[in-house]
Amino acid sequence: MMIKPKSSRLAPYVLDLEEGSHIWCGCGLSKDQPFCDNAHKGTEYEGQEKVAMLFETETDKTVALCGCKETKSPPYCDGAHKSL
């Protein structure tokens, strides 16, 4: 069963990311939002789908990463925060 994530905020994090690998926090517990800091370890979120989501950026670019954790297109904001 999927446990409801905690929203770190009801808006995306718009960031300039460097090319490479990043890990998005899907549980909302990380203190390093919107990135995973392993705060999910040892909690009910450990092992949940999309809790620590590895994603790649192929070039340096500006992204809008979901902060509400309710997006259907993780790690990116899909506008779901507007209806929370």
71 touches ligand FES by CB under 6 A: yes
| DSSP H or E run through 21 | strand 20-25
Residue 49 corresponds to which tokens in the numbers above? 């789908």
Site mask, ligand FES, residues 10-49, x = CB under 6 A? -xx-------------------------------------
> Which stretches does DSSP call E strand in the chain?
13-17, 20-25, 52-57, 61-65
CA 73 from chain centre, in angstroms, equals 10
Q: Identify which range of 21-29, 41-49, 55-63, 76-84 contacts ligand FES by CB under 6 A.
A: 76-84
- For ligand FES, the binding residues (CB under 6 A) are 11-12, 66-68, 70-71, 77-81
